[in-house]
Amino acid sequence: MSSSPNSNQSSSPPIARTSIIGTGTIGASWAALFLAHGLEVVLHDPGPDAEPFARAFITQAWPALVTLGIAQPEIPWHALRFKADLERAVADADLVQENAPEREAFKIDLYRQLDAAAPAHAILASSTSGLHMSRLQSQCAHPERCVIGHPFNPPHLIPLVEVVGGQHTSNETIERTMAFYRQVGKRPIRINKEVSGHVANRLQAAIWREAVYLAAQGVASVEDIDTAITEGPGVRWAIFGPHMTFNLGGGQGGMAHFLDHFSGPMKSWWDDLGEAPLDETTREILIRGLTEESRGRNIQALAQERDDMLLRVLEAKRGSHQ
């Protein structure tokens, strides 16, 4: 990453006008959050149903934002606009949040266009879940203002945002981006090195790989493996992460005591972890298991159940920090 800030950014105005490129589930969720925090939002998506989908999503998401004390009861539709032309959509932006399909070549060209059209002070942030910004910014005239701001779904509820710079991203861009996400109530973390999948997705992938292996080997059912997380470590992880959890597991001696007593068993478990190919047999096991676990609930009902419970968890966490 570049260590010298861009001179155009040193006198940058506060972020008040945002543009969201790609208004699927992630983009629409960002839009709801930005509107709730009093920002102007311009949406751009070439899809024929993009505008009605985004408006419906924001309408559905709004009550949760009101409950969390983030939004007023009335949705400020006057602050939301749709623009069919990409260049016009970002012409006045202070920050662009890009949510285009996860195709590297497509995004590289998109960033070239965004860089040419957006104001000099605008941050160009990507929601990419795994691509490297060093690649995405490679055709930009001003790569120093390009950065990854990867949210967790749904962005209007989940606090985490992973901020990752590319080879030519300036430190000032990273600092401005971190400050902006804090401004809209997020919990950004700075990732110092580009790795595929960033941090949280790699942790998810590691756990899921073992979960798939256990299911494929018939060690436990798909539902019971899920329960092992939601009723076990997952409850603790909503409070402390794995490092701090095991630090507490060491009692008064903390991590030093934990390592003295459990590093051997832990290493033996690591050595025994499996890897299951996602072949047809494994696919059938997972799909059949999830059908049973869903108990007739469709995706929409499951997502609503998730969001309702997330709301309760977030309210509890917020209360503990007050």
DSSP string for 220-239:
S-HHHHHHHHHTTHHHHHTT
- Beta-strand ranges (E) seen in the chain are 17-21, 40-44, 80-82, 95-98, 123-126, 146-151, 160-165, 187-191
Q: In the chain, what are the helix, strand and coil shares in percent, each to the nearest 5?
A: 55, 10, 35
Architecture of domain 200-321: Orthogonal Bundle (1.10)
Average pLDDT over every residue of 163-169: 97
- Domain segments of the chain as ranges: 17-191, 200-321
CA 132 – CA 167 distance, rounded (Å):
9
For residue 223, is pLDDT > 60? Answer: yes
Q: Where does residue 15 fall: left (phi above 0), alpha (psi -120 to 50 degrees), or beta otherwise?
A: beta
pLDDT at 317: 85
Q: pLDDT per residue over 272-297, tens digit each?
A: 999 888 999 999 999 999 999 999 99
17-191 under CATH 3.40.50.720, yes or no: yes
> How many residues are recorded in the chain?
322
For residue 1, is pLDDT > 70? Answer: no
Q: pLDDT per residue over 77-117, tens digit each?
A: 999 999 999 999 999 999 999 999 999 999 999 999 999 99
Q: What mean pLDDT, rounded, does the chain reach?
A: 93
Q: pLDDT per residue over 35-59, tens digit each?
A: 999 999 999 999 999 999 999 999 9
pLDDT at 58: 98
